């Protein structure tokens, strides 16, 4: 029943995009429910990626995301975006992206040469949701 | 002196042709690791260039804790790519290797073998294995450059001469 409500809430709010965080409650613990799927279930990647944690994403939002990153205890620790450099250079912009939580303690941005799912060289933009999140996602 | 060195070099081939008793002479195994920086800024095969004797088994192992990689031969039978291994050799594809997983291929036909990592070819993650030496029966040299490969991938193959001279070539970040 609870799951059904979460799914309904997610479906209802999805078209709003940037309003994603308004349903914060539903996303704070893993799994976030539909339309999010666990990345390691769909792609050949480790379940817990050092530095990124356990990722969930709505496939319709690829490649940018938001990717919701959970720690080993299933707590939402970061929201991550993946933006291919060539797409940016060629004029694509990624606007109005959702966030998993309104609380952001720090942001890391760095280059990634590619991985299954987002194979083109891209930037990782990582919004950490609390001071300790980075260390919990480290390994 | 040059003559003597040549005889020694040929010696390995003669032994191989005669067939070695397995208990005494295990078939050689060489290792190539898939590696990457912690945040995935760079990824590479280590070594990127490797010289082996015909009959060597090459074991590819993913040592990158945050990424998956493949070892895939350039071959028309796999995704219709340019042929960049000897025509008589069988192509291979490890499929995705998760961290810690490995895949083995045994290379018997002399010549130059070029391979790539499927998700990272765009980032220049390629490798080259030289089996035997020029002049070995059936030897096939390096494939020519082709529009089938991105410049970043073509730039990743070490020259055959250098691989033969050094035996194994590590990229700078792998040292
Ligand atoms: Cu790779």
- Chain B residues closer than 8 Å to A51 by CB: 38-39, 66
Q: How far is A51 from chain B (nearest CA, A)?
A: 7
Q: CATH no. for residue B130?
A: 2.60.40.420
Helical segments of A23-122, H only: 24-27, 39-42, 85-89
pTM for the structure as a whole: 0.80
The verdict on a CB contact (< 8 Å) between B39 and A112 is: yes
Structural domain contains residue B11: no
Q: What is the mean pLDDT of residues B39-57?
A: 95
Phi (first) and psi of residue B118, to 5 degrees: -55, -55
Counted domains in chain A? 1
- Chain A residues closer than 8 Å to B95 by CB: 44
Give the strand pairing for B49-52 and B126-131.
parallel
Q: What is the mean pLDDT of residues A45-58?
A: 95
The verdict on a CB contact (< 8 Å) between A49 and B41 is: no
Residue span of the structural domain in which B59 resides: 27-169
Higher pLDDT, B163 or A7: B163
pLDDT greater than 90 at residue B174: no
Structural domain contains residue B5: no
pLDDT greater than 70 at residue A66: yes
The residue assigned the tokens 């990127």 is B48
Structural domain contains residue B10: no
Nearest CA in chain B to A114: B120
Structure tokens at B15: 């032994």
Distance CA B79, CA B102 (A): 22
What is the helix, strand, coil percentage profile of chain A, to 5? 30, 30, 40
Q: CATH no. for residue A122?
A: 3.30.200.270
Q: Which residues of B9-18 are buried (b: 16+ CB within 10 A; e: fewer)?
A: eeeebeebee
How confident is the model at residue B26, as a pLDDT?
61
B69 is catalytic: no
Q: What is the ipTM of this complex?
A: 0.74
Of A112, A120, A139, the CB nearest to B40: A112
Distance (angstroms) between ligand 1 centre and the Cα of A78 equals 25
The residue assigned the tokens 């991985």 is A115
- Residue B85 DSSP one-character state: S
Distance CA B131, CA B137 (A): 11
Asked if A123 has any chain B CB less than 8 Å from its own CB, the reply is: no
Helix (H) or strand (E) run with residue B46 in it = strand B43-46
The verdict on a CB contact (< 8 Å) between A46 and B68 is: yes
* Numbers of helices and strands, H then E, in chain B: 3, 9
pLDDT greater than 90 at residue B110: yes
Asked if B120 has any chain A CB less than 8 Å from its own CB, the reply is: yes
Structural domain contains residue B33: yes
Distance (angstroms) between ligand 1 centre and the Cα of B174 equals 14
Dihedral sign (CA B68, B74, B75, B76): positive
* Short-list A70, A89, A86, A88, CA closest to A78: A70
Burial class of A20 by CB neighbour count within 10 A (0 to 12, 13 to 18, 19+): buried
* Short-list A135, A131, A89, A72, CA closest to A106: A131
Residue span of the structural domain in which A101 resides: 2-138
Q: Which residues of B54-74 are buried (b: 16+ CB within 10 A; e: fewer)?
A: bebebebbbebbbbbbbbbbb
How confident is the model at residue B75, as a pLDDT?
98
Phi (first) and psi of residue B131, to 5 degrees: -105, 125
Q: What is the mean pLDDT of residues B17-39?
A: 74
Structural domain contains residue B175: no
pLDDT greater than 80 at residue B151: yes
Counted domains in chain B? 1
The verdict on a CB contact (< 8 Å) between A121 and B68 is: no
What would the pLDDT profile of B154-169 be if each residue is shown by its tens digit? 999 999 999 999 999 9
Over chain A, what is the mean pLDDT?
A: 86
């Amino acid at each position: 029943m609870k799951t059904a409500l979460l799914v309904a809430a997610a479906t209802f709010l999805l078209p709003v995009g940037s309003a994603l965080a308004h349903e914060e409650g539903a996303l704070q613990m893993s799994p976030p429910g539909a339309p999010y799927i666990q990345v390691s279930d769909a792609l050949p990647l480790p379940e817990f990626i050092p530095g990124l944690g356990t990722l969930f994403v709505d496939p319709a939002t690829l490649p940018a995301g938001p990717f919701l990153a959970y720690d080993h205890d299933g707590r939402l620790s970061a929201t991550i975006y993946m933006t291919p450099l060539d797409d940016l250079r060629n004029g694509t912009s990624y606007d109005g992206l959702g966030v998993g939580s309104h609380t952001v303690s720090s942001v890391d941005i760095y280059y990634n040469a590619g991985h299954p799912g987002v194979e083109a060289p891209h930037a990782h933009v990582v919004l950490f949701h609390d001071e300790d999140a980075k260390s919990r996602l480290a390994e | 002196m040059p003559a003597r060195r040549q005889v020694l070099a040929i010696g390995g081939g003669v032994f191989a042709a005669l067939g070695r008793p397995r208990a005494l002479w295990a078939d050689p195994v060489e290792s190539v690791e898939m590696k990457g920086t912690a945040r995935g800024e760079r990824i590479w095969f280590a070594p990127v260039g490797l010289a082996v004797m015909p009959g060597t088994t090459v074991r590819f192992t993913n040592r990158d804790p945050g990424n998956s990689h493949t070892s895939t031969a350039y071959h028309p039978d796999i995704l219709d790519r340019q042929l960049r291994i000897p025509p008589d050799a069988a192509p291979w594809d490890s499929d995705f290797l998760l961290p810690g997983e490995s895949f083995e291929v045994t290379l018997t036909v002399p010549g130059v073998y070029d391979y790539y990592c499927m998700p990272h070819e765009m980032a220049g993650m390629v490798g080259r294995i030289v089996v035997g030496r020029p002049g070995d029966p059936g030897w096939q040299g390096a494939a020519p450059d082709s529009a089938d490969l991105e410049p970043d991938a073509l730039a990743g193959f070490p020259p055959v001469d250098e691989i033969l001279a050094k035996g194994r070539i590590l990229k700078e970040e792998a040292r």
